[in-house]
Amino acid sequence: MSADPASRTAAAAAPLTSSGMLLGVRRVSVLLPGIVVFAVAFGAAAAAKGLTLLETVLMSGLVYGGVSQLVAMEIWRPEWSWGAIAGLAVVTATVNARMILQGAALQPWFAYYSKRLNALHLFFYTDANWLIGTRYREEGGRDLGVLIGAGLALWVVWVLATLAGHGLGALVSDPRRYGIDLVMPIFFAAMIVPMWKGRRAAMPWLVAGLVALVTAKLVNGYAFIITGSLAGALTGAFRDDAA
């Protein structure tokens, strides 16, 4: 039995191909050196905190939280209470809350696919995927394979580099000492530059950055991630409504 017209239209509008996955791998390759350094730093920090190799690799493989994993290591403790666990959950949720806005920005793309497929590829979803996906969509691309390929490549490299970092131990246990904490922001900034569309379109970026900086000065913790993201999103929404 042939598929109904609506299904055929959705499939045509939102392809998923192996060539798209390979394109995603190629596009994310520019970020891999930074990912390796970042993951090595996490592995070393985890070793310094007393996590076993298995625990460290499982955290990278199953949690796969990137920045939030390093944040967790900053407040990790040898003994835990329910209050400490709740505090860690709140901090990591705050750091990762930016994914809500990122996912919403690409939701029209995801909407064509089944919930199972979206659940699978969103497990591998990262900041890098969002940057790559946003640029790809801006160029007129529609193949979800780009996100899946980039996500799988990043996940594999992240887990393997975590393994290596744990073996290095305390050599890079403090990422700030070597400037490793700046690696990912620099790479993300480089990825965002091609999205420049002029001064008016840059207003949400400017507002988000200023609000985040002010919040970081006034409030301890990682609330600046939420306030900056929301400020930028609201500025963009009002700008579009006024256009």
Length of the chain as a residue count: 243
Tracing tokens 């900041």 back to the chain, one arrives at 127
Closest CA to 148 of 10, 7, 15: 15
Q: Which of 45-59, 182-196, 223-237 has the lowest mean pLDDT?
A: 182-196
- Shortest CA distance to 76 belongs to which of 98, 61, 60, 92? 92
Enter the pTM of the model.
Answer: 0.72
Secondary structure (H, E, C), 126-184:
CHHHHHHHHHHHHCCCCCCHHHHHHHHHHHHHHHHHHHHHHHHHHHHCCHHHHCHHHHH
Task: Judge whether residue 184 has pLDDT over 60.
Answer: no
Kindly state the average pLDDT of the residues 213-231. Answer: 78
Q: Containing H/E element for 113? A: none
Average pLDDT over residues 151-156: 94
- In this predicted structure, the answer to whether residue 241 has a pLDDT above a threshold of 60 is no
CB of 178 closer than 8 Å to CB of 55: no
Strand runs (DSSP E) across the chain, as ranges?
none
Tokens representing 38? 């970042």
Overall average pLDDT of the 196-201 stretch = 64
Tens digits of per-residue pLDDT, 8-49?
444 445 688 999 999 999 999 988 887 888 888 888 888 888
Structure tokens at 31: 């970020």
Question: Could you tell me the sign of the dihedral formed by the alpha carbons of 193, 159, 110, 108, in that order?
Answer: negative
pLDDT reported for residue 55: 93
How many CB atoms are located within 10 Å of the residue 180 CB?
A: 20
Tokens of 132: 């790559």
User: 38-47, 68-77, 142-151, 180-189 — which one is most confidently predicted on average?
Assistant: 142-151
Is pLDDT of 1 > 50?
Answer: no
DSSP H or E stretch at residue 106: helix 98-110
Is residue 191's pLDDT more than 60? no
pLDDT for the residue numbered 159:
95
- pLDDT tens sequence across 126-153: 888 888 888 898 888 889 999 999 999 9
Of residues 85 and 183, more confidently modeled: 85
Residues 222/71, Cβ–Cβ less than 8 Å: yes
